[in-house]
Amino acid sequence: MQDSLPKVGFISLGCPKALVDSERILTQLRAEGYEVVPSYQDANLVVVNTCGFIDDAVAESLDTIGEALAENGKVIVTGCLGAKGDIVKQTHPNVLAVTGPHATEEVMQAIHTHLPKPHDPFTDLVPSGGVKLTPRHYAYLKISEGCNHHCRFCIIPDLRGGLVSRPVGEVMTEAENLVQVGVKELLVVSQDTSAYGVDVKYKPDFWKGRPLNTRMLDLATALGDLGAWVRLHYVYPYPHVDDVIPLMAAGKILPYLDIPLQHASPSILKSMKRPANTENTLKRIAQWRSICPDITLRSTFIVGFPGETEDDFEQLLDFLDDAQLDRVGCFAYSPVDGATANALPNQIDEDVKQQRLEIFMQKQATISASKLQQRVGQSLQVMVDGISEDGHALARSKAEAPEVDGWVIIKNQPQLVSGEFASVKIMDADEHDLWAELV
Ligand code: SF4
């Protein structure tokens, strides 16, 4: 019986938003009775979910498609690269079909055409939380697609279109299913989480008879009642974000905000077409900390954007000093095919960009190290993600998001189980990680 099932190979590239698309397609495949197999040789066809954000990602996606064609021969392409003109078909004319991102139905149609589904769907094979690509104990919860902004360095609105918010009742049902199958941490993702519901004018909806508006505050409040850790990512610092901070202070959702600020100089932010104002951002951060003193703030920045003067860069460094963010990522600006920033005058020399990146990272490393040092001596609850090769447990507290932040490393505890909570005391800290002992 098993051998008669049609078999699909699946390769998932790209960001958490693409990962959620992959999970939806995999869930649908399992619902329809397809078997998902891990090798090219065993598969009747292969689906490649691509990334098209920066040039390296485009090259990786095209290489992966080429490898799948060479090894298997029957390939369907989906994801961001599929929305980027004809590049896939031009490079690999033999692919069976190409779709853009969040196109589960189109992908399934293409699969049905080239590999018909079994007569009886094996719906009982599907876990109610869907098929997850993340470890069992945490899951990304995508609340919307697309973005209404037009940041000059970004082509996501061209690739994914304008903001489309999922109905809040549907998001809550998915979140509840995930928690019921053992997910202990929900990571809310989108392109712009604070804009959730703007496109549908915060439309009222119901979840289990409870009225909810399609709005970040209503969603965060309802998620906070599920008993899982709830972490908000990609939150722009609009005034209404202040309303979710009391939920953090009350322990309903995690005291953690991922706010992609990108720069601090007003003229660069204007040139980037970013929806933010530095002075207000600093005031807002101070206000958040006064309501929820243990809030962890994470952000990302770009240095070397066209037109960035020494003075702009200094303003950015001053902002880091003032804001004292806990976790920071930084990139040297690199032109993305199709982005309007490419046409801006005063592009910055590569060596200047790299120099600024280094100075920025050094400054932030000092800030991060001192912030982590302040946590030495704290007793914390952590969630174990796995065990390192040398037998240390790799865990995270409320202050660390998976994949982007550092670890709480519990020394010599290989018996700890992934997905379980542990109580620890922080004994030491470096620039990225904390070292802990069980208590
Ligand atoms: S907010 Fe700006 S950077 Fe983020 S997805 Fe939208 S356009 Fe791109």
Q: How far is the CA of 195 from the centre of ligand 1 (A)?
A: 11
Cβ–ligand 1 contact at 156 (below 6 Å): yes
Percent residues over pLDDT 90 in the chain:
68
Residue 276 predicted with pLDDT over 90? no
- How far apart (Å, rounded) are the C-alpha atoms in residues 75 and 60? 16
Listed residue (44, 58, 33) closest to 10, CA to CA: 44
Cβ–ligand 1 contact at 107 (below 6 Å): no
Q: Are 233 and 287 in contact (CB under 8 A)?
A: no
Residue 240 predicted with pLDDT over 60? yes
- How far apart (Å, rounded) are the C-alpha atoms in residues 102 and 281? 32
Lowest mean pLDDT among 130-134, 148-152, 218-222, 267-271: 130-134
Q: Are 367 and 394 in contact (CB under 8 A)?
A: no
Ligand 1 atom 8: the closest Cα is on which residue? 154
Region 279-308: what's the mean pLDDT?
94
219 pLDDT band, cuts 50/70/90, is very high
Summary mean pLDDT of the chain: 90
Q: How far is the CA of 154 from the centre of ligand 1 (A)?
A: 6
Ligand 1 atom 4: the closest Cα is on which residue? 191
Cβ–ligand 1 contact at 77 (below 6 Å): no
- What pLDDT, on a 0 to 100 scale, did the predictor assign at position 176? 94
Q: Which of 149, 159, 160, 273 to probe ligand 1 with, by most ligand atoms within 8 A of CB?
A: 149
Cβ–ligand 1 contact at 149 (below 6 Å): yes
Region 4-31: what's the mean pLDDT?
85
Q: How far is the CA of 79 from the centre of ligand 1 (A)?
A: 17
- What pLDDT, on a 0 to 100 scale, did the predictor assign at position 30? 81
- What pLDDT, on a 0 to 100 scale, did the predictor assign at position 122? 44
Q: Which of 150, 153, 156, 158 to probe ligand 1 with, by most ligand atoms within 8 A of CB?
A: 156
Q: How far is the CA of 335 from the centre of ligand 1 (A)?
A: 15
Cβ–ligand 1 contact at 330 (below 6 Å): no
- What pLDDT, on a 0 to 100 scale, did the predictor assign at position 135? 73
Region 287-301: what's the mean pLDDT?
96
Number of residues written out for the chain: 439
- How far apart (Å, rounded) are the C-alpha atoms in residues 178 and 137? 9
Task: Give the rounded distance of the alpha carbon of 284 from its chain centre.
Answer: 23
Cβ–ligand 1 contact at 262 (below 6 Å): no
Give the pLDDT confidence of 78-133 residue by residue, as tens digits: 998 888 768 898 999 999 999 888 888 789 888 988 888 765 544 445 555 666 66
Residue 246 predicted with pLDDT over 50? yes
Give the pLDDT confidence of 28-43 residue by residue, as tens digits: 888 777 888 888 999 9
Residue at token pair 């901070």: 245
Give the pLDDT confidence of 153-165 residue by residue, as tens digits: 988 888 888 999 9
Q: Are 267 and 312 in contact (CB under 8 A)?
A: yes
Cβ–ligand 1 contact at 189 (below 6 Å): no
Cβ–ligand 1 contact at 147 (below 6 Å): yes
- Global pTM? 0.75
Q: Which of 190, 191, 235 to probe ligand 1 with, by most ligand atoms within 8 A of CB?
A: 191
